[in-house]
Structure 1
Amino acid sequence: MLKLTYTDMGLHLERLAQSPEELVARRAILALRMSQNLHLEPSRAAFLLPADLPELPILEAAIRREGKAIALCSVCDDYVEVSLRGMWIAPEVDAHEGIFVAVMSDRLEFLLHKLWQVSQTQVSFLL
Structure 2
Amino acid sequence: MLKLIYTENSFTLERLEESLEAWVNTRVILSLHSATSFHIKSSTAAFLIRDEEIKFFKTAKSPSSPRNELENVSQENLIDICRCDAEYLEVTFKGVWMTSDIICETGVFVTNLSPSAELLFQKLSQSGQFCHA
TM-score normalised by structure 2 residue count: 0.81
Deviations 1:1-45 (A, max 9, x none): 000000113101000000111111221122123221111111100
Counterpart in the other structure of 2:107? 98
Preserved CA contact (<8 Å) 1:55 1:115: no
Displacement after TM superposition at 1:64 (Å): 2.6
Aligned: 1:63 with 2:73: no
Partner SS for 1:64? helix
Q: Which residue of 2 aligns with 1:114?
A: 123
TM-score, normalised to structure 1, is 0.84
Partners in 2 of 1:55 and 1:85 — Cα distance? 25
Cα deviation for residue 62 of structure 1 reads 1.2
Instruction: Look up the match of 1:31.
Output: 31
Change (3 A) 1:11 1:110: same
User: Percent same amino acid among aligned pairs?
Assistant: 33
What are structure 2's unaligned runs of at least 5 residues? 58-63
Structure in which a larger fraction of residues adopt helix = 1
